[in-house]
Amino acid sequence: MRAPAFALVLAFASPALAVEALVERRQAGMKDMDNAMKALGAVRIGVLPYSPALVSRAAGVLAEGAEAMRLQFPPGSEGGKAAPLLWEDRARFDAMTGDLAAAAARLAAAEGEEAALEAAERVAETCIACHEPFRRR
């Protein structure tokens, strides 16, 4: 008699566990993007020297993160720091992830320190613009 009851508990718990795992995965991805932006910021203030390799790695992390965001916020995955508006205005959110992907591509294509730092600033503005409506504090 205990086995069917346990199976019933698992059947109801599994979707919740799946959402929890998805929230953790997307938070880890956001942390990776945050670390990429911090590295670019360290170059901007002179803590780290400019390096095309660092810029390329950061741009790659940001581009991957933009693409992942399109997939990691399906309906029913509410949780974490994501605001409910994200699911209510999905078209706007998707457009903003596209903006991030485009900004990351411009960062990847930037040649030289000045161009890279300018492109990194545009990425930061894109991040902030999305965090304002779609991230809970």
135 bridge partner residues: 82
The answer to pTM > 0.75 is yes
Q: What is the pLDDT along the chain (137 residues), one digit of tens a residue?
A: 445 553 444 445 567 788 899 999 999 999 999 999 999 999 999 999 999 999 999 999 999 999 999 899 999 999 899 999 999 999 999 999 999 999 999 999 999 999 999 999 999 999 999 999 999 98
DSSP class per residue in 93-119: HHHHHHHHHHHHHHHHH--SHHHHHHH
Q: What's the CA gap between 122 and 86, in Å, rounded?
A: 22
Classified as helix, coil or strand, 79 is coil
